Structure 1
Amino acid sequence: MKTPICTGILMLTFLAHAQTQTEVLDTLYGNDKKVVAVFFPAPIRQAIVGGEHFTFNYNRESGQYFGLLQALPGPPGNLLAITTKGNVYTYIIKYTESLPRLNYFLDKKERIGREKPEVKKPVSASRPDSLTKVYYTKFSRFLVKQKSERLAMKRKNKLALKIHKLVYESDEMFLVMALINKSKIDYEVDAVRIASVVGNKKRKSSYQEVPIQPIFSWQAPTIIQKGAIKKFVFVLPKYVFTGNERLRISVEERNGSRSMQVTLRHPHISLLTIP
């Protein structure tokens, strides 16, 4: 006779636990004694808190996945965050003496929407996938042979990073660059990073930095020997610049401090096709 009763109690306990597990997270808690870590499924691009008694700190330069929340006594506020993927998250934030959790791990499903609507890109029949690499290579060679321009240049310790061209072609942008080494030491490239930048770092609330991932590279250098010049091309997804946006290109040295960075403001963009 006791078995059905026990089974019923276990079922009720299981259902109550399942309901708790699927409860939607809508409030984050913080105080002034400990930091609460909030982990996002993608790097944070921008975050704003409502209320002067709340702070939410994150690394704006390296694209950090988590931010640190702290709070002073006061009325509830809110946190609005946008990731580099364009996903938008918002939560109520409250001060409490006793923190229920020190870490929050957010799921992509918790986003309230996207900064820009998702538009399914129609499949292009202009260029078969099997020929894409051949096409990029051919067009890159063509651009490098054209008359050199100079959109921007950065010099450092007898090194130079020169931006020759930024060209729209179909659904891509071709960025033609050169590294010049007039020093007496070989220059080893650790990474070339490209990002779209809006605003000013001194005004954190208005500063935005979005990395742009190349879809192809041609002759990307790993080392530039002393006295050598190396031209190369990065193919990027097509990106239309607005008046206050800038394109930043950074080259980092491996095992060294001779890194260089240039910024294109209102870049001159050419429209070329292979003859």
Structure 2
Amino acid sequence: MRTFTLILTVLISAFTKAQTTNALDTIYANDTKNVALFFPEPIRQGITGSDNFVFTYNREKEQYFGLLQAKPGKESNLLIVNRDGAIFSYIVRYKTQLSKFNYFIPKSSSIGNERPILNDSISVVTAESNVDNRNYYYQKFSSYLLERKQRVGRIKKRTEGIVLSVENIVFDTEELYFVIQIKNNSTLDYDLNFLKLSVETRQKGKKKSLQRLYQEPIFKHNLPSKITENETVRFVYVLPKFSLSNDRRAILELHEKDGERNIELKLSHRYINNPN
């Protein structure tokens, strides 16, 4: 997995306060002990730059601490964002014998804040600017997911040389990110009419029927309008977080413009309820 350096750099340069550059502190961890990190504000997001480091925290109910574990391998980095937007960054390394298991992080060790620092003369932040900032985050996090090789499972369907697959489903903050791939193995270009995701419910009773409810994405990243012959495209749909009961499933519908190479890909409730 590639590191989160790109997003970290952009966040710091675009949103943080001016500061003196200091060397990052190093936190050591291994695969037999939990190393606990306690922060001054609840953790909103925690990301490691390599697969051999895992940082776990409560994503459903924000808490002040998270747990770090590591497997043998090269050093990496850990990026933490608190609920108030404060950013913390550390070098993380594997170490067989640990001398410290608990880190109490002071607010003064924050490297900055993801939110813009307003001048005294500016007292109002418009709703429009908040939306722009959120879309900017969706874009950067989607780009990060497209660089990763993580997969949620083998979810794919094909017809006449067109292959539709869902590579990954990731939960972050309050959204689900669907990493989608379309591969055109045919000799004809594929013009996209629409790609939509719906939730299908099986109606019980004597007359069994299916009901679909369309789920509107709040952001689309790199969605193509055409897939040329022998081309593969990958993009991201961002939707508000949702979960499914056993009698429901998600349906991804791909429709060709002025053509009949349409695909319906079924996603079990297990994939939706257990994202990465």
TM-score (norm 2): 0.50
TM-score for both structures, normalised by structure 1: 0.50
